[in-house]
Amino acid sequence: MATVFWDTQGVILVDFLSRGEKVNSGFYIDTLKKFRARILRVRPDMDIGNVLILHDNARPDTGIRTKETIASFWWTTLTHRTYSPDLAPSYYHLFGHMKQGLRGKHYENEK
């Protein structure tokens, strides 16, 4: 599984879940910290306290520790609607080209 963070200028961070690893609050918080560090590196002129986060309503994303971490960064969490057709272009643009390149290919292992 990949967690992808991007802005209007492009992808900032892609973080992959290792085989056997579970997405829990600790994992998600670590990923948010990686994202914050990456912003500081690749977008040094960006106002780090003016980040908008849109994530789904899964437990790791909405847990108290996660909310506290996001608040400590001074970031704003946007409300994720259950059905939001305006998000489809993001998924389409992010995975559409990758799916085309992988179509018809089979792999023996994940490497």
- Asked whether residue 25 is domain-assigned, the answer is yes
Domain residue limits at 21: 2-102
- Asked whether residue 88 is domain-assigned, the answer is yes
Q: How many domains does the chain have?
A: 1
Collapsing DSSP states into helix, strand and coil, what is residue 93? helix
CA dist 42 and 105 (Å) reads 33
pTM score of the predicted model: 0.75
One-letter amino acid of 98 = M
- Asked whether residue 6 is domain-assigned, the answer is yes
- Asked whether residue 108 is domain-assigned, the answer is no
Cα dihedral sign for 3, 66, 64, 91?
negative
- Asked whether residue 9 is domain-assigned, the answer is yes
Residue-wise pLDDT tens digits, 43-87? 999 999 999 888 776 665 568 898 999 999 999 988 777 666 666
Q: What is the domain-level CATH number for residue 54?
A: 3.30.420.10
CA dist 73 and 99 (Å) reads 34
